[in-house]
Amino acid sequence: MKKLYITVALAAACQATAAQDAGNTPASLEWRRQNSLWEQSGNPAGLKLDAPIRYSHVNAGYESYNGDFRRPQEGASGNRQFVQTEGALYADSFYLSGKFSYTRDAVKDAKFNASIIDPFRGMPFIVADLNASDWSIQRYDLQFNATTRAYGRWSFGLGAQYQASSGAKQRDIRTENYFYSIRVTPGVVYALSDRQHIGFNLDYSNTKEEGSMSNVNVYVDQTYYELYGLGTAVSLLGGGRTNNYEGDAWGGSLQYAYRGYIGVFVNAGYKIEAEDLHVSFTIPRDGATILRKSWNAGVTLTNETPGLLHTLALQYRQRDMDGIQYTTERIPTAGWKSLAKYVRSTFASKQATAMYRIGAKRGREYKWMADISGAYTKLDDVYLLPYSFKKTENLNGEIGGKMNFVLPGNKDARLLVGLSIGYNRNFSAAYEYNGAHPDYPTVTELETNDYRYMASDYVKAELPVTWSTRLKESGKQTLFLKAYGRYVKTGSYDFNDRYTIGGSVGVNF
């Protein structure tokens, strides 16, 4: 916690110098984020092309969730406290931006995870037990981006992110986990003309998660399962094991932007990641490896008139993962030796999204905004031998809008009210397990209920309300209070609903 206070204080002190002259309402910052396409692309060299402003933002909040419409490894309920701060400033002709967030999660009654802080981060090789348990998790996320001045037609940038998490499962089999990730994204942008730019950035990250499992009640040995995907599992008895996950990732992205009557932003990226699992620190054994390959491509078209901004965005994302298992043998004096490795499972996901948004401008903020979007998502997971599969196809539509009401007074008071409604339609789904031990709960509960979640139709509604006002008539500091509620309702299988409510208070300055 001490580290947290120091970091927040430093971030706030740095950002205090970045106070800017106008447009500090929540709507203005949201508008800026939505229209900062270079920032969204992840190329730090292009940040200045977003015509950025100096700003600072800090908020702290709390949210709570509950409901049975969830994946089996999610908490039955839980709450989260968070502090977030971000800001940007010009230093001479350089542009610097930074973010920090701290989140404390209290997850209640999560099942089938006894070994990893985030079971949804694309690592299927984990240990699952049968005891629904609370988890206490803390997450830190620190980011910065720096953009140089232009050197002729060239601009350079560097982005970095450091994430650290710690998590502890509260019931036997317990585990204490520590995770970190470091990411570096150097980039370059070349100006073809005043209106046209192309960019390229590299993306390197290194991750590590260590987990030590144990029983407090050593008299009761727990049944646990080493998961290999789609329900395939090895059943064991005892107090678990120690896990050491280490991963590296390389990637790169290309961008092209054109500014004219129609603005065009094209992006395409590729990333390859390998994450190894070593079991035990004393006599390590190759447990498994996951190889992830991700592609993304998209185009965003914008048209700005004196009063309106139209945005049409098309995006495609694909992630293919190979689950690699090892054949190992124990040599008494030399530890574990890997004899062979095979791709035993593949996990593929594809998503295509289209979004149209129209917003009415009012200075640096918007008066109102409306959007409509659709997403097609396909999951195709296969365990190769013995052959098992889990496949789903979903179509998701969402429509939403926000009104930014001006309240009386001289302090730029605003009431920002939004509403979005979505509908997810599953039109294809199948799960078939043909491996050993079909009676294991990893098949009958974990994978079956996960599949049902993925194959459910549901409606979703979200209502955010934000009130804001300048603290002083002549000052720039804007206080805001935000509350939001999200409700997801389904009638599929035995699920019912899930809700999230939350709120935060903060200042833009």
CB of 275 to another protein, least distance (A): 8
* Smaller CB separation from another protein, 97 or 222: 222
* Smaller CB separation from another protein, 109 or 246: 246
* Smaller CB separation from another protein, 364 or 437: 437
Is residue 225 within 8 Å of residue 233, measured between CB atoms? yes
* Smaller CB separation from another protein, 30 or 273: 273
Classify 195 as helix, strand or coil: coil
Instruction: Write phi, then psi, for 260 (nearest 5 degrees).
Output: -165, -155
CA separation for the pair 9, 478 (Å, rounded): 19
User: Which burial class, exposed, middle or buried, applies to 367 when counting CB atoms under 10 A from its CB (0-12, 13-18, 19+)?
Assistant: middle
Is residue 417 within 8 Å of residue 405, measured between CB atoms? yes
The angle formed by the CA atoms of residues 373, 377 and 380, to the nearest 5 degrees, is 175
Report CA-CA distances (Å) from 4 to 82, 137, 162, 336, 504: 11, 15, 14, 40, 18
**Does the bond joining 272 to the residue before it have cis omega, within 30 degrees of 0?**
no
* Smaller CB separation from another protein, 338 or 496: 338
* Smaller CB separation from another protein, 58 or 249: 249
CB of 447 to another protein, least distance (A): 16
Is residue 57 within 8 Å of residue 85, measured between CB atoms? yes
CB of 206 to another protein, least distance (A): 7
490 CA to centre of own chain: 24
- Closest Cα partner for 422 from 490, 502, 482? 490
CB of 343 to another protein, least distance (A): 5
- The residues that touch another protein, with contacts defined as CB under 8 A, are 204, 206, 219-221, 223, 232, 234-238, 246-250, 272-276, 283, 289-291, 322, 324, 327-330, 332-333, 339-344, 384-386, 435-437
* Smaller CB separation from another protein, 259 or 285: 285
- Closest Cα partner for 123 from 109, 113, 137? 113
Strand partners, 146: 96, 158
CB of 127 to another protein, least distance (A): 13
Give residues with Cβ within 8 angstroms of 236, minimum separation 6.
223, 224, 225, 226
Is residue 495 within 8 Å of residue 451, measured between CB atoms? no
* Smaller CB separation from another protein, 130 or 358: 130
CA separation for the pair 177, 441 (Å, rounded): 24
* Smaller CB separation from another protein, 211 or 435: 435
Is residue 433 within 8 Å of residue 443, measured between CB atoms? yes
Length of the chain (residues)? 509
* Smaller CB separation from another protein, 249 or 454: 249
Exposure b/e, 172-197, CB count within 10 A at least 16 = b = bbbbebebebebebbbbbebeeeeeb
- 149 DSSP 8-state letter: P
CB of 79 to another protein, least distance (A): 35
CB of 213 to another protein, least distance (A): 16
* Smaller CB separation from another protein, 158 or 481: 158
